[in-house]
Amino acid sequence: MKWLLLVIVSMVAAAAAAAQPAVARLNTAGASDVAAGQRIFDSQCAWCHGAGGTGGTGPDLRRSSLRHAATDEALVGIVRNGIPGTEMPGFAVALTERMAWQTAAYVKSLGRTKPASLLGNAKRGAKVYESSGCGSCHTVNGVGGISGPELTSVGALRGVPYLRESIVKPAAAHPTGYLVVVATTKSGEDIRGVRVNEDVFWIHLRDAGGNVHALEKSQLAKVERQLDASLMPSYESRLAAADLDDLVAYLATLRGAQ
Protein backbone atom coordinates (compact mmCIF):
# COMPACT_ATOMS: atom_id res chain seq x y z
CA MET A 1 0.00 0.00 0.00
CA LYS A 2 3.02 2.24 0.32
CA TRP A 3 3.00 3.20 -3.33
CA LEU A 4 -0.69 4.10 -3.03
CA LEU A 5 0.05 6.43 -0.16
CA LEU A 6 2.87 7.98 -2.15
CA VAL A 7 0.63 8.42 -5.15
CA ILE A 8 -2.06 10.08 -3.04
CA VAL A 9 0.42 12.33 -1.27
CA SER A 10 1.92 13.42 -4.57
CA MET A 11 -1.54 13.96 -6.02
CA VAL A 12 -2.59 16.13 -3.12
CA ALA A 13 0.63 18.12 -3.35
CA ALA A 14 0.10 18.60 -7.07
CA ALA A 15 -3.52 19.60 -6.42
CA ALA A 16 -2.31 22.30 -4.06
CA ALA A 17 0.07 23.55 -6.75
CA ALA A 18 -2.74 23.59 -9.30
CA ALA A 19 -4.86 25.68 -6.97
CA GLN A 20 -2.50 28.62 -7.46
CA PRO A 21 -3.93 31.14 -9.89
CA ALA A 22 -3.17 30.34 -13.51
CA VAL A 23 -0.83 32.68 -15.31
CA ALA A 24 -3.17 35.13 -16.97
CA ARG A 25 -0.77 37.76 -18.26
CA LEU A 26 -0.85 37.04 -21.94
CA ASN A 27 1.85 39.54 -22.78
CA THR A 28 4.40 37.16 -21.29
CA ALA A 29 3.53 34.51 -23.88
CA GLY A 30 6.44 33.78 -26.18
CA ALA A 31 6.26 33.24 -29.93
CA SER A 32 6.14 29.48 -29.41
CA ASP A 33 3.16 29.85 -27.09
CA VAL A 34 1.34 32.01 -29.63
CA ALA A 35 2.17 29.49 -32.35
CA ALA A 36 0.86 26.67 -30.17
CA GLY A 37 -2.25 28.74 -29.53
CA GLN A 38 -2.75 29.26 -33.25
CA ARG A 39 -2.59 25.52 -33.83
CA ILE A 40 -5.25 24.94 -31.20
CA PHE A 41 -7.32 27.80 -32.59
CA ASP A 42 -7.20 26.39 -36.13
CA SER A 43 -8.40 23.02 -34.85
CA GLN A 44 -10.95 24.03 -32.24
CA CYS A 45 -12.03 27.64 -32.82
CA ALA A 46 -11.79 28.29 -36.55
CA TRP A 47 -15.02 26.35 -37.11
CA CYS A 48 -16.89 29.43 -35.92
CA HIS A 49 -14.36 32.26 -35.78
CA GLY A 50 -12.69 31.52 -39.12
CA ALA A 51 -9.02 30.72 -39.71
CA GLY A 52 -7.05 33.69 -38.46
CA GLY A 53 -10.03 34.87 -36.41
CA THR A 54 -11.59 36.62 -39.40
CA GLY A 55 -15.07 35.71 -38.20
CA GLY A 56 -17.78 33.35 -39.37
CA THR A 57 -20.78 32.22 -37.40
CA GLY A 58 -18.72 33.58 -34.52
CA PRO A 59 -17.42 37.13 -34.34
CA ASP A 60 -14.28 38.56 -35.93
CA LEU A 61 -11.64 38.48 -33.21
CA ARG A 62 -9.22 40.95 -34.85
CA ARG A 63 -10.09 43.67 -32.38
CA SER A 64 -7.95 45.38 -29.83
CA SER A 65 -10.74 45.01 -27.30
CA LEU A 66 -13.25 42.19 -27.13
CA ARG A 67 -16.51 43.11 -25.47
CA HIS A 68 -16.67 40.08 -23.17
CA ALA A 69 -12.94 40.03 -22.43
CA ALA A 70 -11.87 43.28 -20.86
CA THR A 71 -8.92 41.63 -19.12
CA ASP A 72 -6.47 38.85 -19.92
CA GLU A 73 -7.98 36.79 -17.14
CA ALA A 74 -11.46 37.19 -18.62
CA LEU A 75 -10.17 36.10 -22.03
CA VAL A 76 -8.62 32.92 -20.63
CA GLY A 77 -11.84 32.37 -18.69
CA ILE A 78 -13.91 32.60 -21.88
CA VAL A 79 -11.73 30.05 -23.64
CA ARG A 80 -12.16 27.69 -20.71
CA ASN A 81 -15.77 28.34 -19.72
CA GLY A 82 -17.47 29.94 -22.73
CA ILE A 83 -19.94 32.82 -22.52
CA PRO A 84 -23.24 31.84 -20.89
CA GLY A 85 -26.30 32.77 -22.90
CA THR A 86 -24.39 32.84 -26.19
CA GLU A 87 -23.27 30.27 -28.73
CA MET A 88 -19.70 30.36 -27.35
CA PRO A 89 -19.02 27.03 -25.60
CA GLY A 90 -16.35 26.38 -23.00
CA PHE A 91 -13.28 24.27 -23.77
CA ALA A 92 -12.31 23.28 -20.25
CA VAL A 93 -12.72 19.60 -21.08
CA ALA A 94 -10.61 19.74 -24.22
CA LEU A 95 -7.85 22.14 -23.25
CA THR A 96 -5.46 22.11 -20.37
CA GLU A 97 -4.94 25.39 -18.51
CA ARG A 98 -1.75 25.98 -20.43
CA MET A 99 -3.43 25.32 -23.76
CA ALA A 100 -6.30 27.67 -22.88
CA TRP A 101 -3.75 30.31 -22.00
CA GLN A 102 -1.85 29.76 -25.25
CA THR A 103 -5.10 29.98 -27.21
CA ALA A 104 -5.98 33.21 -25.44
CA ALA A 105 -2.50 34.55 -26.18
CA TYR A 106 -3.05 33.87 -29.87
CA VAL A 107 -6.49 35.52 -29.78
CA LYS A 108 -4.94 38.53 -28.11
CA SER A 109 -2.27 38.67 -30.80
CA LEU A 110 -5.07 38.92 -33.37
CA GLY A 111 -6.04 42.25 -31.83
CA ARG A 112 -2.71 43.57 -32.97
CA THR A 113 -3.37 42.58 -36.58
CA LYS A 114 -5.09 45.12 -38.70
CA PRO A 115 -8.50 43.97 -39.87
CA ALA A 116 -8.98 44.15 -43.59
CA SER A 117 -11.03 47.26 -44.25
CA LEU A 118 -14.56 46.64 -45.41
CA LEU A 119 -15.20 47.07 -49.06
CA GLY A 120 -18.51 48.85 -48.71
CA ASN A 121 -19.95 51.99 -47.21
CA ALA A 122 -22.14 51.42 -44.17
CA LYS A 123 -24.23 54.56 -44.65
CA ARG A 124 -25.11 53.58 -48.16
CA GLY A 125 -25.69 50.04 -46.90
CA ALA A 126 -28.40 51.29 -44.53
CA LYS A 127 -30.24 52.64 -47.56
CA VAL A 128 -29.79 49.33 -49.40
CA TYR A 129 -31.23 47.60 -46.34
CA GLU A 130 -34.28 49.82 -46.54
CA SER A 131 -34.78 49.73 -50.29
CA SER A 132 -34.34 45.95 -50.46
CA GLY A 133 -37.11 45.42 -47.92
CA CYS A 134 -34.88 43.59 -45.41
CA GLY A 135 -36.89 45.20 -42.62
CA SER A 136 -40.03 43.38 -43.65
CA CYS A 137 -38.54 40.21 -42.15
CA HIS A 138 -35.76 41.45 -39.83
CA THR A 139 -35.75 43.80 -36.86
CA VAL A 140 -33.02 46.33 -36.08
CA ASN A 141 -33.27 48.45 -32.94
CA GLY A 142 -36.88 47.51 -32.33
CA VAL A 143 -38.12 48.22 -35.85
CA GLY A 144 -38.95 45.60 -38.45
CA GLY A 145 -40.48 42.21 -39.17
CA ILE A 146 -40.35 38.99 -37.24
CA SER A 147 -39.94 36.13 -39.65
CA GLY A 148 -36.14 36.40 -39.86
CA PRO A 149 -33.53 36.69 -37.09
CA GLU A 150 -33.19 40.02 -35.29
CA LEU A 151 -30.13 41.88 -36.58
CA THR A 152 -29.60 44.53 -33.89
CA SER A 153 -26.33 42.92 -32.76
CA VAL A 154 -25.51 40.86 -35.81
CA GLY A 155 -22.27 42.73 -36.51
CA ALA A 156 -20.95 41.83 -33.08
CA LEU A 157 -22.09 38.22 -33.25
CA ARG A 158 -21.13 37.22 -36.79
CA GLY A 159 -18.11 37.72 -38.98
CA VAL A 160 -18.17 39.51 -42.32
CA PRO A 161 -17.75 36.35 -44.42
CA TYR A 162 -20.81 34.87 -42.76
CA LEU A 163 -22.85 38.08 -43.23
CA ARG A 164 -22.01 38.10 -46.92
CA GLU A 165 -22.82 34.43 -47.36
CA SER A 166 -26.14 34.73 -45.54
CA ILE A 167 -27.28 37.33 -48.09
CA VAL A 168 -25.94 35.59 -51.17
CA LYS A 169 -26.58 32.01 -50.13
CA PRO A 170 -28.90 32.05 -47.11
CA ALA A 171 -29.49 28.30 -47.29
CA ALA A 172 -25.81 27.53 -46.65
CA ALA A 173 -26.19 27.96 -42.92
CA HIS A 174 -29.10 28.90 -40.75
CA PRO A 175 -28.92 30.17 -37.19
CA THR A 176 -30.31 28.13 -34.32
CA GLY A 177 -34.10 28.27 -34.34
CA TYR A 178 -34.43 28.74 -38.10
CA LEU A 179 -34.58 25.16 -39.33
CA VAL A 180 -37.02 24.96 -42.24
CA VAL A 181 -39.65 22.23 -42.03
CA VAL A 182 -42.36 21.26 -44.47
CA ALA A 183 -45.33 19.58 -42.82
CA THR A 184 -47.78 17.81 -45.10
CA THR A 185 -51.26 17.29 -43.76
CA LYS A 186 -53.22 14.12 -44.45
CA SER A 187 -55.27 16.09 -46.97
CA GLY A 188 -52.10 16.92 -48.88
CA GLU A 189 -51.62 20.54 -47.85
CA ASP A 190 -48.00 21.66 -47.35
CA ILE A 191 -47.14 24.05 -44.51
CA ARG A 192 -43.62 25.44 -44.77
CA GLY A 193 -42.01 27.43 -42.02
CA VAL A 194 -39.23 27.62 -39.49
CA ARG A 195 -39.47 25.23 -36.58
CA VAL A 196 -40.16 27.27 -33.46
CA ASN A 197 -40.76 24.21 -31.32
CA GLU A 198 -41.07 20.47 -31.56
CA ASP A 199 -41.68 17.61 -29.19
CA VAL A 200 -42.49 13.97 -29.80
CA PHE A 201 -46.14 14.61 -30.65
CA TRP A 202 -46.37 18.26 -31.75
CA ILE A 203 -44.50 20.60 -34.05
CA HIS A 204 -44.87 24.37 -34.25
CA LEU A 205 -43.94 26.19 -37.45
CA ARG A 206 -43.82 29.91 -38.20
CA ASP A 207 -44.48 30.52 -41.88
CA ALA A 208 -43.04 33.33 -43.98
CA GLY A 209 -46.03 35.49 -43.07
CA GLY A 210 -45.23 35.18 -39.38
CA ASN A 211 -48.18 32.90 -38.61
CA VAL A 212 -47.60 30.08 -36.15
CA HIS A 213 -49.06 26.67 -36.98
CA ALA A 214 -49.48 24.23 -34.06
CA LEU A 215 -49.56 20.83 -35.69
CA GLU A 216 -50.23 17.49 -34.07
CA LYS A 217 -47.96 14.96 -35.74
CA SER A 218 -50.59 12.21 -35.70
CA GLN A 219 -52.62 14.41 -38.07
CA LEU A 220 -49.74 14.85 -40.51
CA ALA A 221 -48.78 12.63 -43.41
CA LYS A 222 -45.16 13.77 -43.46
CA VAL A 223 -42.70 16.03 -41.65
CA GLU A 224 -39.67 16.97 -43.74
CA ARG A 225 -36.72 18.74 -42.14
CA GLN A 226 -34.86 20.75 -44.78
CA LEU A 227 -31.37 21.05 -43.33
CA ASP A 228 -30.12 22.98 -46.37
CA ALA A 229 -32.97 25.43 -46.79
CA SER A 230 -33.91 28.92 -45.67
CA LEU A 231 -37.09 30.95 -45.91
CA MET A 232 -34.93 33.85 -47.07
CA PRO A 233 -34.40 34.11 -50.83
CA SER A 234 -30.92 34.66 -52.20
CA TYR A 235 -30.12 38.30 -52.95
CA GLU A 236 -27.17 37.44 -55.17
CA SER A 237 -28.94 38.42 -58.38
CA ARG A 238 -31.03 41.15 -56.77
CA LEU A 239 -28.17 43.31 -55.55
CA ALA A 240 -25.42 44.97 -57.53
CA ALA A 241 -21.95 44.02 -56.28
CA ALA A 242 -21.40 47.46 -54.77
CA ASP A 243 -24.77 47.37 -53.02
CA LEU A 244 -23.93 43.99 -51.54
CA ASP A 245 -20.64 45.37 -50.20
CA ASP A 246 -22.48 48.33 -48.71
CA LEU A 247 -25.13 46.14 -47.12
CA VAL A 248 -22.49 43.90 -45.54
CA ALA A 249 -20.66 46.97 -44.25
CA TYR A 250 -23.90 48.25 -42.70
CA LEU A 251 -24.68 44.93 -41.01
CA ALA A 252 -21.15 44.80 -39.63
CA THR A 253 -21.81 48.10 -37.82
CA LEU A 254 -24.83 46.70 -35.99
CA ARG A 255 -23.32 45.99 -32.58
CA GLY A 256 -26.19 46.29 -30.13
CA ALA A 257 -29.16 48.51 -29.36
CA GLN A 258 -28.58 52.13 -30.33
Binding site for another protein (CB under 8 A): 3, 7-8, 11-12, 14-15, 18, 39-40, 43-44, 47, 91-99, 179, 198-201, 227
Query: What is the smallest separation between the CB atom of 98 and another protein, expressed in angstroms?
Result: 8
Distance in Å, CB of 211 to another protein, minimum: 22
The answer to whether 92 and 104 are in contact (CB under 8 A) is: no
- Residue (128 or 231) nearer to another protein, CB: 231
Instruction: Let me know if 240 is exposed, middle or buried by CB neighbors in 10 A (0-12, 13-18, 19+).
Output: exposed
Pairs from 214-219 (Cβ < 8 Å, separation ≥ 24)? 215/183, 215/185, 215/191, 219/185, 219/186
CB 103 to another protein: min, Å: 11
Q: In the complex with another protein, which residue's Cβ is closer, 96 or 131?
A: 96
Give buried/exposed letters for 196-231 (b at 16+ CB in 10 A, else e): bebeeeebbbbeeeeeeeebeeeeeeeeeeeeebbb
Closest CA to 76 of 143, 42, 27, 113: 27
Closest approach, Cβ 222 to another protein, in A, equals: 13
Supply the minimum distance, in Å, between the C-beta of residue 71 and another protein. 22
Complex with another protein: residue 28 or 96, whichever CB lies closer: 96
The conformation of residue 41, written as its DSSP 8-state character, comes to: I
Nearer to another protein, 52 or 145 (CB): 52
Cβ proximity to another protein: between 65 and 176 the closer is 176
